Structure formats: C-alpha cells, structure tokens
C-alpha cells in the first residue's frame, strides 16, 4: 500500500537541534547544515561535544535511578535522534515492563525512532512540539502508555534551553507534572550560563545565527523549574557530579551544564 501521509518538508538546509546534537555525538543522522552548526559551536566552545556526551550519560543514570525507585512509565520530551542505549533499553534492563513515550518535533527523529523501536506495546513515538503540551497529552499513543494515576518519570534532558521564556517553560512542565501521581519524577539537564558565562554567550550567538534558540540559564533560573517538587540528592549540580558511576559522567571543567532529579510529593 502506498504511503498516503502528507509530504513533510524536512528543511535539511537549516540546522535542527536534534540533528546538531546527533552530529556532536558522532552520529550519522544529520545533514551538512547540522554538521556546520555543530562545528561552529565547537569552534566557539570545544566543550560542547563533552556536554552532549555528558547529557547522554546523565540520561542513562536518571532513568536507571527512576526504574530502581519503582517508576514504570517514562516520557522522554525532545528525545532527539535515537542513540543506544535508549531510554527504553535502560529502563527495561531494570524493569522489563517499563513503558516509554518518546516525543520530538523533528520528522527525521520520528522516522528513525519508529524504525528502531521494538515491536510490541511498551514504546511509542509522538511527533509533536513540546510547546503544545495538550497535543501530546491528548495523543492516543500517549494515553495508551501513560496512566497518571501511577508515578511517571518526565525527562527533559537538554531541551529546556531551546524553549524561550515567552513560551513559559515552567508552565509546560506543570502541564505534565500537574496531573501526575505523587511519586512522579522530573529530570532536567540545562546549559548553565553562570558556569561559563563567556562560552554560554558564544554558543547562544552561534546557534541564533543558524536559526536555533539556545538559552543557557543561571542555576537559580533552572532551579525554578523544580518549584513544588522535592529535589533528590545531590540536588541541582553540574552533570558530572550527579551520582557519577563511571568516567562517562564527564569532566566538571568541561561540562558547563546542570542536572537534577526531583520527586512530586
């Protein structure tokens, strides 16, 4: 049967955050514009690749901790190009019955995720924009895998610094955590403007030149995203200091990005 879905303009002539991130990780699912943006970012701050790798390691650690704590539902917002180990691989290594909903607004991400997701009813990919949370929450695939009467882990790893203040990222978080059961978790990693002020301005400027919103924030501003939640130890800290379990956690001197995990009381 022919594919009758409408044609989507992938805009491969312009960099996309998910594909730039893939380029920084050494992936192959990116285009010349994405590689150029990644190279420009590295030129302004060579540590951006270290930050990308540290984010992946942080994601693995928070998912492992959440699964060990008994959470069996995961929502990965702004998932990016699939990179192993993916959230479902990490979660299901601890709890085989864990379910995962991946969300991204890039059709290339969706295509790759659908090709790589395991057969069955434990994972789904939703192509949607984080800035329109109701479209995600109302999606049948989301409702099939997420039951807000039970704890859920909402993962916002390296995504909120792409959301401008006028889009009200705190309200977006509340839209997902508000209906969630007590014991639900929020994981956030975010570029820290106060950890490397000059470099933060540099990469933000380079990103803007490529049409990408990239807004590093001070620790106090990132901390506000956890309002009403209980931050788990060690709190909001540079990524390599968040429960490191190996060398892939990253070097604090190179990774100017914060990470934290909080529980809804």
Q: What is the CATH number of domain 17-264?
A: 3.40.50.150
More confident residue, 236 or 5: 236
Q: What is the mean pLDDT of residues 62-88?
A: 92
More confident residue, 70 or 4: 70
Left, alpha or beta for 68 (phi > 0: left; psi -120 to 50: alpha)? alpha
Strands 257-263, 237-238: pairing kind: antiparallel
Q: Report yes or no: 21 and 207 within 8 Å, Cβ to Cβ.
A: no
Please state, in angstroms and rounded to a whole number, the distance separating the CA atoms of residues 113 and 105.
12
Task: Please tell me the predicted confidence (pLDDT) of residue 134.
Answer: 97
Task: Please tell me the predicted confidence (pLDDT) of residue 7.
Answer: 41
Domain range annotation of the chain: 17-264
Q: What is the mean pLDDT of residues 156-161?
A: 96
Please state, in angstroms and rounded to a whole number, the distance separating the CA atoms of residues 61 and 75.
15
Please state, in angstroms and rounded to a whole number, the distance separating the CA atoms of residues 67 and 58.
14
Query: How does DSSP classify residue 210?
Result: T
Give 15's Cβ-side CA count (13 Å radius).
Answer: 25
Task: Please tell me the predicted confidence (pLDDT) of residue 66.
Answer: 98
Under the banding of pLDDT at 50, 70 and 90, the label for residue 224 is very high
Under the banding of pLDDT at 50, 70 and 90, the label for residue 44 is low
Q: What angle do CA 161, 82, 106 make, to 5 degrees?
A: 60
Task: Please tell me the predicted confidence (pLDDT) of residue 28.
Answer: 65
Under the banding of pLDDT at 50, 70 and 90, the label for residue 246 is confident
Q: What is the mean pLDDT of residues 135-150?
A: 97
């Amino acid at each position: 049967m022919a594919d009758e879905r409408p044609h989507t303009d992938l805009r491969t002539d312009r960099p996309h955050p998910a594909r730039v991130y893939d380029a920084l990780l050494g992936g192959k699912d990116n285009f010349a514009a994405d590689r150029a943006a990644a190279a420009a970012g590295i030129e302004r701050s060579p540590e951006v690749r270290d930050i990308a790798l540290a984010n992946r390691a942080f994601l693995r650690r928070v998912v492992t901790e959440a699964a060990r704590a008994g959470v069996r539902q995961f929502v990965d917002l702004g998932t990016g190009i699939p990179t192993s180990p993916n959230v479902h691989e990490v979660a299901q290594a601890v709890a085989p019955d864990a379910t995962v909903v991946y969300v991204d607004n890039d059709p290339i991400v969706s295509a790759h995720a659908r090709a790589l997701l395991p057969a069955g009813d434990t994972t789904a990919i939703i192509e949607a924009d984080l800035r329109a949370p109701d479209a995600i929450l109302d999606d049948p695939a989301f409702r099939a895998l997420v039951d807000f009467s039970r704890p859920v882990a909402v993962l916002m790893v390296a995504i909120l610094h792409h959301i401008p203040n006028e889009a009200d990222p705190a309200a977006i978080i509340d839209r997902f955590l508000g209906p969630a059961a007590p014991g639900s978790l929020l994981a956030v990693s975010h570029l820290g403007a106060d950890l490397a002020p000059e470099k933060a301005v540099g990469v933000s400027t380079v990103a803007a030149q490529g049409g990408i919103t990239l807004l590093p924030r001070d620790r106090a501003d990132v901390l506000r995203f956890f309002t009403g939640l209980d931050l788990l130890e060690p709190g909001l800290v540079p990524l390599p200091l968040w429960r490191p379990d190996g060398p892939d956690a990253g070097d604090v001197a190179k990774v100017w990005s914060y990470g934290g995990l909080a529980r809804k009381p």
